[in-house]
A = this chain, B = another copy of it.
Amino acid sequence: MGTNSGPAAAPGELPGWAAEMYARDTATRTLGMRLEGAGSGRASVRLRITPGMLNGHGIAHGGYLFLLADTAFAYACNGYGPVTVAHSAQISFLHPVEAGDDLLAEAVERDRYGRNGVYDVTVRRQDGTVVAEFRGHSVALSGRPGAARPAGGDPAG
């Protein structure tokens, strides 16, 4: 994961809540994902596909594309205050991805209503080709950020 495991956006460029969440986010950092931007209702995350992420067909495991999109979703929906988790998500795979491809996932909020949200994430390859489309449904828990374990649902990201 070497070349892309550097720091995310310089800490000063991320809002405080995002920098703190990213500092605790072992899964994302271990895979070398870079949080390039985050705000209320939007986030950008980058991942370079390594040979260790290829499946039995010799191309990127679709699960890594989901993991990347789900991470962007998590940062897009957690900027409002309450701990917010994924209820469910859907992903479509448009094109195969190879080792060395540099992927950018951009999440945008589509709707918020009550404690719920709908977010769209588009994953593009370095040449701009869309390789996956993701739609996630979030639920805000009653706890505060950093609070104890959520009682239901599985946090996205």
A-B contact pairs, 20 of them (CB 8 A): A21-B56, A25-B56, A26-B54, A27-B52, A28-B56, A30-B53, A56-B74, A57-B149, A62-B70, A62-B89, A63-B64, A63-B67, A65-B154, A88-B90, A94-B111, A94-B154, A96-B152, A96-B153, A111-B133, A120-B120
Given contacts A93-B86, A137-B92, contact A55 B67 (CB under 8 A): no
Within 8 A of B (CB), among A37-58: 51-58
Pair B62/A155 contact, Cβ less than 8 Å: yes
Contact of A155 among B85, B92, B96, B114 (CB under 8 A): B96
Q: Enumerate chain A interface residues (CB-CB to B < 8 A).
A: 21-28, 30, 51-68, 70-71, 74, 78, 83, 85-97, 110-111, 113-114, 116, 118, 120, 130-133, 135, 137, 149-157
Number of copies: 4
> Nearest Cβ distance between residue A24 and chain B, in whole angstroms?
5
Residues of B within 8 A of A88 (CB): 88, 90-93, 137
Pair A55/B28 contact, Cβ less than 8 Å: yes
Residues of B within 8 A of A95 (CB): 113, 152, 154
Residue of B nearest to A20 (CB): B56
